[in-house]
Structure 1
Amino acid sequence: MRALTVRPQQPDTAEVSEVPDPDAGPGELLVEAVALGVCGTDREIVSGAYGWAPQGRERLVLGHESLGRVRRAPEGAGFADGDLVVGVVRRPDPVPCGACARGEFDMCRNGRYTERGIKQRDGYGSELWTVETDYAVRLDPALESVGVLMEPTSVVAKAWEQIERVGQRSWYGPQRVLVTGAGPIGLLAALLGAQRGLDVHVLDVVADGPKPAAVAALGATYHHAPVPEVTEKIQPDVVVEATGVGRVVFDAIAGTAPYGIVCLTGVSSGGRRIPVDAGATNREIVLENDVVIGSVNANLRHYSAAAQALAAADRDWLERLISRRVPLGRFAEALHAQPDDIKVVLTFE
């Protein structure tokens, strides 16, 4: 079968390779790939920035934003042939730490977790793949064209869960949320904010195109002014930061309403320095009871929450987020970001 593979930490080694068909073991599904989402993590792995092959191997099968159809399921597993499924990305560490032992493997404390298509486990970028039934999530068949959005939706489902848990340390009645960044994570964070009945605002650098249109279609408000100007105007109770841009991060932290919560989901690049008034930032956080949290990855309940959020969303709106569908054989086109891209998807037809 064909698979998209790479030599981790060696730039520009991605290729479509012929690899053996997988054998599903006890308690595993054999799945035919339908689609695979491409994100910044995949591009960074291809660039050689990071990534780890399975032990004893040189190449890693890429891909963590999966969507497939069950070809064969074990009896009594709760899945049937033809089911539309997504595979969970992370697996708990084998020790395990206290978090992993309780199913909170997205919060692993010792770093020994593994991840499909990223760290020491082959990903879902192959024509056939297997997944343990405990780490597969069934999707509504009506979501086939957009189900590949499941993994990024699970990430923002976790982010919103963490925001709400922090908010409930005291009285919690948010009204306005600002999402910085209108990529897939940002737009899906906005979707979940709208589903919570909040007044949603999204900020990005572009002035027109598919991103502002998607925000408007969601019933949210789009901004492309500087962050301080926007936060002064709307006084957000919650900020979901999805750019990883240092200046945006600190401006967002400084711009919340009192008792504000900033959830960082964007990963910043190292080596970039900006001047920061650390004393003023500390003073504001302390005197306003503000909170800044980081959130990454997702566990099983977040995937279930993501499936519910996608099922409740407008399908036409979700379709807006998929900019391009590229056949596996032309993977290089998918890895090359274009200005109007939101989510690029590899197909396996």
Structure 2
Amino acid sequence: MPDIAKEQLPLKPILEVNGLRKYFASKQPGSWRTKTLKAVDNVSFHLYEGETYGLVGESGCGKSTLGRTLLRLTEPTEGTALYNGKDLFSLPGKELQASRKQLQMVFQDPFASLHPRKSIGAALTEPLIIHRIGTPAERYSRVLEILRVVGLQPSHYDRLPHELSGGQRQRVVLARALILEPKLVICDEPVSALDVIIQAQILNLMKQLQQDFKLTYLFIAHDLGVVRHISDRIGVMYLGKLVEEAPTDQLFASPKHPYTRALLSAVPKSDPAGKRDRILLEGDVPSPLDPPTGCTFHPRCPLATERCRKEIPVKREVADRHFAACHLA
């Protein structure tokens, strides 16, 4: 997907994340001692209004924790997240609740994120009640309208989540995120639980909704094919750190970090007869409870040097709008 032209980007990002850290204390089995799990470790990036920023990486790299921390569903350990100049992490209770109208989330499992005993209409009406928006009649009309927007029928209003298909439930979750007319939506692997055909339908719906509602997406996923289809820029995470960031086409054409090259080499080719240079990484992902010294990727990196084992690489610009945290980039 072509990225937003540089000259078209606003001068100031809608969201600026600086030095975000989220650590957990983990008690060791059979011991009173605890270790620190660095789920998100010194991550910085920004989002421009109207773009889609894809965040990719292996399971357990901290992508979902980052998304939940930005909305303060879990509190950050350190760092700032400036939304239109206001730090989300320092907002008091009432201001934080007010900001929820502008910031919404679509969760990975549409069935688990819906109350099994609440009808679809009740689930969509609840945000309007919490924020005291409209009269009962106006709320009812608004729910029917948002159901239409996401491709559902008025008859779905009284149904329960188990009476819907997976694709229909994900449309409900999208409707719930959009009913407050937010500006920024964090999508945590929103299509990973769906089959391929339904995935394509939901992705196309999300792109259309982005145009209609002027939305900005932070799109978290592990499937690079999906991320390429919807994202303007992509950030690659490994073991809690952001190791590479670039416009989508640029990242796929010229990856700078060895980990990104390995991820891209695993993407299936459209031509089965085409040549495929698969990069196989040795070893397992290190434990975030005991990360390696220096570059955390060095135990699996075929290009690692002594410097990589000792010195933590700093994310720097290695090409136009292309950043990498690698000594050899």
TM range (shorter): under 0.3
Structure with the bigger RCO (C-alpha within 8 Å, sep 6+) is: 2
TM-score of the aligned structures, taking structure 2 as reference length: 0.28
